[in-house]
Amino acid sequence: MSSFQEQSSRTIRVGVLLLLTMILGGTLGFNIIERLRWIDSFYMTIITISTVGFGEVKPLSDGGKIFASFLIFFSLGSIAYVGYLARFFFDGDFLKYYRRYRVEKRIQRIFNHVIICGYGRTGLQVGHELKGHNTPFVVIDNDENVLLNASSDDNELMYIYGDATNEEILHKAGITRAAALIAVTPGDADNTFVVLTARSLNPKIKIISRANDPHSEVKLKRAGANNVIMPELIGGQRMAKLITQPDVVEFIEYILLQESTEVSFEEIPCRSLAQCFSGKPLSHFKQREISGANIIGIRNRKGKYIFNPGSDYIVTAEDQFFVLGSTEQINMFRKALEDTDEF
């Protein structure tokens, strides 16, 4: 819980407790000391602690006057909390608190999501891409202003303020229920600790980390990262390719980075493959005739990549297809793989 949330929660509890204590104590006191009806006791309590100057229900006895005096002193001493509580509601802090409460409840309900550790320029771009693919994600960052600004631009953003190397913070982000974690904090040391902690909490989670120093790649993989991305290396390679093979780079980027449904390049696992297709050659699938999609590569059960596979390749449920086509064509092909009547 952030410092803002802790302060807000404490303010609400203390303010409400003081207010209820004054009202209940005052009502009970006037009822016992002055023998007033409950409604008159409540009325006397309200006009006393609010100091509005209304007349008494009946003249007070000496005991009643002493009790009213102490009640006034107590209310004056508590007015700071009550006043802060009023500002909490009217200045918009309550709305912020309620919004964060809703975010925490949403995080507790999601499964198979992605956790983004660090929401700088790279983390922001990662979130944009995941949102474009309708993949739920939770952001962790130790800069509260970054999160507040990001949430004001995106009301649906799920975020947690804190240190991603902290096990408690990762648990709040649902690390045991998450499908993947992306570590893009500014420092390699922080990313290493994030990867190490996340891997210990969820041995099955897929972890991708950014690295600035090439020497950090080995350390990050030893810590448990499945993949390590070095932006400077990739950027340099892309710049060189734009000189030597500009059309190839632009074509690949158009396929991978464009947001339209005209063309899509996706991976389709064969674990949902209909039983009658397992062990059959690729020529048996006739995916081109059925959907118009193209299988341009396969990752077999040993992790080996096969580019432009031949028609005699024997497909198993442990393979994974890399398919090129429009979104509609790929969806048709995915459906056909699970339907024995399609092929």
- Residue 2 confidence (pLDDT) above 50: no
DSSP string, 249-298: HHHHHHHHH--SSS-EEEEEESTT--GGGTT-BGGGT-HHHHT--EEEEE
pLDDT digits (tens, 9 = 90+) for 138-163: 999 998 888 888 887 777 889 998 89
- Stretch 262-290: mean pLDDT: 77
Using CA atoms, how far residue 7 sits from 13, 77, 99, in Å, is 10, 20, 15
In this structure, the strands spanning 305-307 and 294-299 are antiparallel
Least confident interval from 103-107, 201-205, 279-283: 279-283
* Exposure on the CB side of residue 240, measured as CA atoms within 13 A: 6
Number of other residues whose CB lies within 10 A of the CB of residue 235: 10
Q: Where are the domains of the chain?
A: 3-91, 110-233, 260-337
Indicate the CATH number for domain 3-91: 1.10.287.70
Average pLDDT of the residues of the chain: 82
CB 223 within 8 A of CB 192: yes
- Residue 8 confidence (pLDDT) above 80: no
Sign, Cα dihedral of 254, 257, 261, 265: positive
**DSSP assignment, residue 79?**
H
Both structure tokens of 257: 């980075």
- Residue 195 confidence (pLDDT) above 50: yes
- Stretch 113-124: mean pLDDT: 93
Rg for the chain (alpha carbons), in Å?
31
Least confident interval from 36-45, 148-157, 160-169: 148-157
Q: Which DSSP helix (H) or strand (E) runs through 134?
A: none
CATH of the structural domain 260-337, one choice from 3.40.50.300, 3.40.366.30, 3.30.70.1450, 3.30.70.1520: 3.30.70.1450
Confidence (pLDDT) at 54: 72
pLDDT digits (tens, 9 = 90+) for 89-99: 655 566 666 67
In words, the CATH class of domain 110-233 is alpha beta
- Residue 207 confidence (pLDDT) above 90: yes
Which residues fall within 8 angstroms of residue 282, CB to CB, at 6 or more apart?
295, 309, 310, 311, 312, 313, 314, 315
